[in-house]
């Protein structure tokens, strides 16, 4: 319409009084249009329009740049198909689009009017309660049209169930920001994890000089930081990203005297946020809920005696008192739970077993001394050595939990999946990477979420698919770090088995039409703004649901590649499924390079026409790089 061009000229007119403008002026003008743009793409479009190579462009050249960046053909086609005159969307037409294409069943004229007021930049259209293509473009590129459901960006799940009924965002060796052997320990590890919504942090405590406990990866060359500063940082950052409880998983290697220092630092620094007794001072029969423990910090550690005995001693000073107990180390695998890295570092050789076959499992007892004052701070998370699921059923208390390395947990999951799930309906289980991952690599967390493990701890400092899954899963429920497990992972008599799915778990058919990409990162091999992009859609969930499909390759176009390709999936257990969109640059027939990705829970996906913001390998926004898709799913 005429007022679209009038509006456009009104914004750019002043800049073109001298006839032509520079690249810097072009960037300034584009900012005024409130359309996100990528510097590299604009730079090369500018160069293509600057045919005289003067570093200056005309008003018509600028209009061409604006159209190349903003006027996306695929969105214009969508706009015209829902506008009777192909120029504006009447209020009623916008309502129909929202209901029929965006699946907003409750959309009405008020909803449409609000969108016009929010996104329509042309005042005349706004007054007429109409939406021009300029407004439609801004709406389709906004937060209102992202793939991730708006209602899942805030806490919406029931937070009053016992702690063991939630997946809890968990970090392994939180103090490390590099590898497990010689890398630095740094306070930023704790601040960063907490800002990402992590709710379970690991602190490896060792004796330091001057009676000051230190935190580092024992028996390695990783640097040391003081326990006092770690607790100060945790106190500062604990509840900035989430109100829900933080669990401090202590690996305690200190003598009793320094254990008392640890306890005193936690009490003085954390104050009344530290859980030092049960909620009402009485002996409970189950774990409290995240809601009941809002803004609280829980200590997970070994404990002397029972919770009942601790409650009887409340108010008494236990400084100077210690206890001792013997702990059984059953195998080399148990010894590997917290391996000494001296051997790979110093290249010490293990004893050779010439002709003797594999060594027999050792049984070794070690004595552990524990300061009572630290033990008394362990209320809801007493560490207990795992023996068997049967042993836990008979002897484990509700406030006791255990940690397993990924190898042992994987064996248990494959051999006794249903028993493992039943165990996790009653008790908290923490999984952590096996000791040979000295480069801080991660395992696939999905296999342990599938059996209901709550604390699936990853090396947050190591980017990759595993952390993409972690970050994607915990986008849900407002990024609170707590996600209510599906009902079939919470019932004590559940018969669910992820390796052999039976019964109805809400199986769905999912259809994703990959329409286009927008301002994708250029190829690392390109000297301009080009790439040969393709999209891979990956499903993570129970083994039967694990699959991936990919689009065709669009040659030489990172600015606005069009695929128009539909992918279909059948998913048996959607409540456990994550969807990962990966954009790659085809380098050769056998090699692709990562450009960006986005991961989210399947059931957090909006239906309809949606844009997908892309993230870098480190999880940083690549705005305005995005995909444009159409999503539909329904129960089979």
Q: Which two tokens stand for residue 331?
A: 């195998």
How many other C-beta atoms are found inside a 10 Å radius of the C-beta of residue 600?
Answer: 22
**DSSP class of residue 277?**
S
Instruction: Tell me how far apart the alpha carbons of residues 630 and 634 are, in angstroms, rounded to a whole number.
Output: 14
* Of 217, 423, 518, 611, catalytic: 217
Q: 140: buried, middle or exposed (CB in 10 Å: 19+, 13-18, 0-12)?
A: buried
Q: Which two tokens stand for residue 235?
A: 């106190």
435 CB contacts (<8 Å, ≥6 apart)? Answer: 336, 337, 338, 339, 405
List, as one string, the DSSP characters of 539-578.
Answer: EESSGGG-EEEE--PPTT-SSS-EEEEEEEEEES-GGG-E
Phi then psi for residue 558, to 5 deg, are -105, -15
**DSSP class of residue 148?**
B
Instruction: Tell me how far apart the alpha carbons of residues 530 and 278 are, in angstroms, rounded to a whole number.
Output: 60
From residue 196, alpha-carbon distances to 169, 479, 541 in Å are 9, 8, 23
Q: Is 172 among the catalytic positions?
A: yes
Instruction: Tell me how far apart the alpha carbons of residues 499 and 418 are, in angstroms, rounded to a whole number.
Output: 10
Residue for token pair 């992820």: 498
Instruction: Tell me how far apart the alpha carbons of residues 174 and 202 are, in angstroms, rounded to a whole number.
Output: 5
Residue for token pair 């730079």: 43
If we measure between CA atoms, which residue out of 123, 133, 17, 145 comes closest to residue 71? Answer: 133
**DSSP class of residue 301?**
B
* Of 41, 172, 186, 518, catalytic: 172
Q: Is 630 among the catalytic positions?
A: no
Instruction: Tell me how far apart the alpha carbons of residues 238 and 246 are, in angstroms, rounded to a whole number.
Output: 7
Q: Which two tokens stand for residue 604?
A: 């957090």
Report, as residue numbers or ranges, the catalytic residues: 172, 217
């Amino acid at each position: 319409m005429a007022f679209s061009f009038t509006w456009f000229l009104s914004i750019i007119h002043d800049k073109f009084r001298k006839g032509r403008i520079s690249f810097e002026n072009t960037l300034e003008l584009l900012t005024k249009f409130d359309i996100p743009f990528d510097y590299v793409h604009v730079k090369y479009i500018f160069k293509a329009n600057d045919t005289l190579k003067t570093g200056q462009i005309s008003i018509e050249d600028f209009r061409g740049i604006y159209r190349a960046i903003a006027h996306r053909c695929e969105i214009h086609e969508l706009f015209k198909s829902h506008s009777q005159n192909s120029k504006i969307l009447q209020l009623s037409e916008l309502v129909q689009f929202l209901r029929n294409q965006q699946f907003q069943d409750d959309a009405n004229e008020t909803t449409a009017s609000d969108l016009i007021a929010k996104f329509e930049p042309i005042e005349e259209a706004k007054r007429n309660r109409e939406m021009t293509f300029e407004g439609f473009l801004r709406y389709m590129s906004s937060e209102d049209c992202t793939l991730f459901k708006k209602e899942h960006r805030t806490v919406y799940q029931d937070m009053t169930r016992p702690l063991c009924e939630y997946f809890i965002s968990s970090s392994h060796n939180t103090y490390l920001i590099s590898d497990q052997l010689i890398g630095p320990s740094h306070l930023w590890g704790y601040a960063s994890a907490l800002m990402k919504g992590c709710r379970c942090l690991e602190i490896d405590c060792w004796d330091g000089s001057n009676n000051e406990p230190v935190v580092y990866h024992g028996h390695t060359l990783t640097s040391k930081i003081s326990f006092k500063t770690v607790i100060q940082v945790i106190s500062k950052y604990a509840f900035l990203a989430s109100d829900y409880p933080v669990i401090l998983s202590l690996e305690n290697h200190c003598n009793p005297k320094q254990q008392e220092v640890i306890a005193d630092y936690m009490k003085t620094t954390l104050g009344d946020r530290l859980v030092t007794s049960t909620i009402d001072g009485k002996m409970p029969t189950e774990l409290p809920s995240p809601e009941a423990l809002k803004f609280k910090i829980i200590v997970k550690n070994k404990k002397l005696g029972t919770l009942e005995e601790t409650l009887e001693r409340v108010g008494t000073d236990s400084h100077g008192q210690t206890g001792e107990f013997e702990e059984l180390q059953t195998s080399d695998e148990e010894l590997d739970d917290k391996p000494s890295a001296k051997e790979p570092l110093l290249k010490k050789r293990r004893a050779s077993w010439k002709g003797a076959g594999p060594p027999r499992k050792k049984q070794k007892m070690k004595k552990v001394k524990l300061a009572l004052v630290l033990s008394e701070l362990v209320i809801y998370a007493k560490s207990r050595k795992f023996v068997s699921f049967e042993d836990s059923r008979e002897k484990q208390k509700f406030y006791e939990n255990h940690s397993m390395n990924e190898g042992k947990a994987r064996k248990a999951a494959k051999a006794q999946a249903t028993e493992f799930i039943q165990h996790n309906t009653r008790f908290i289980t923490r999984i952590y990477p096996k000791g040979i991952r000295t480069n801080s690599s991660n395992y696939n967390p999905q296999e342990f979420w599938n059996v209901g493990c709550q604390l699936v701890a990853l090396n947050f400092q190591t980017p990759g698919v595993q952390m993409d899954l972690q970050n994607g899963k915990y986008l849900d429920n407002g990024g609170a770090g707590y996600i209510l497990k599906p009902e079939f992972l919470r019932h004590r008599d559940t018969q669910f088995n992820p390796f052999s799915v039976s019964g109805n778990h809400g199986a769905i058919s999912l259809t994703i039409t990959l329409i286009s990409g927008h301002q994708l990162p250029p190829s690392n091999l390109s000297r301009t703004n080009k790439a040969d992009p393709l999209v891979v859609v990956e499903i993570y969930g129970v083994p039967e649901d694990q699959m991936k499909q990919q689009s065709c390759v669009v040659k030489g176009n990172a600015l606005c590649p069009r695929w128009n390709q539909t992918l279909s999936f059948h998913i048996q257990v959607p409540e456990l499924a994550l969807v990962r969109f990966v954009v790659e640059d085809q380098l050769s027939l056998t090699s692709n390079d990562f450009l960006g990705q986005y991961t989210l829970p399947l059931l957090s996906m909006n239906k309809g026409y949606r844009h997908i913001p892309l993230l870098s390998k480190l999880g940083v926004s690549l705005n305005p790089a995005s995909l444009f898709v159409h999503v539909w799913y329904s129960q089979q």
